[in-house]
Copies of this chain bind each other. A is one copy, B any other.
Amino acid sequence: MRNIKLTISYDGTGYKGWQLQKNGNTVQEEIEKAISKVFGRHHRIHGAGRTDSGVHAKAQVAHFKTPVDIPRNKIPAALNSVLPEDISITRAEYVDGDFHSRFDAVSKLYRYFIFNSRNRDPFRERHSWRVPYTLDVPLMRREARSLLGRHDFKSFQAKDKRERHSVRNVSHIAVKKRGTTVTVDIEADGFLYNMVRNIVGTLVDIGRGYLSGGSMNQILQEKDRTKAGPTAPAKGLFLIEVRY
Say yes or no for A90: interface residue by CB 8 A criterion. Answer: yes
Interface mask (A37-58 → B, CB under 8 Å = 1, otherwise 0): 0000000000000000000100
Say yes or no for A9: interface residue by CB 8 A criterion. Answer: yes
CB of A227, distance to nearest CB on chain B (Å):
31
- Judging by beta carbons under 8 Å apart, are B122 and A9 in contact? yes
This chain: copies in complex: 2
- Judging by beta carbons under 8 Å apart, are A88 and B119 in contact? yes
- Judging by beta carbons under 8 Å apart, are A10 and B122 in contact? yes
| B residues near A10, Cβ cutoff 8 Å | 122
| B residues near A103, Cβ cutoff 8 Å | none
Say yes or no for A96: interface residue by CB 8 A criterion. Answer: no
| B residues near A3, Cβ cutoff 8 Å | none
- Judging by beta carbons under 8 Å apart, are B121 and A88 in contact? yes
Closest to A11 in B: B122
- Judging by beta carbons under 8 Å apart, are A9 and B80 in contact? no
- Judging by beta carbons under 8 Å apart, are A88 and B120 in contact? yes
A-side interface size class? 10 to 19
- Judging by beta carbons under 8 Å apart, are B9 and A86 in contact? no
- Judging by beta carbons under 8 Å apart, are B11 and A85 in contact? no
- Judging by beta carbons under 8 Å apart, are A121 and B86 in contact? no
Specify which of B88, B119, B122, B127 is in contact with A86 (CB 8 Å cutoff): B122
Interface mask (A10-45 → B, CB under 8 Å = 1, otherwise 0): 110000000000000000000000000000000000
CB of A36, distance to nearest CB on chain B (Å):
20
- Judging by beta carbons under 8 Å apart, are B9 and A125 in contact? no
Closest to A80 in B: B120
Interface mask (A106-143 → B, CB under 8 Å = 1, otherwise 0): 00000000000001111101110000000000000000
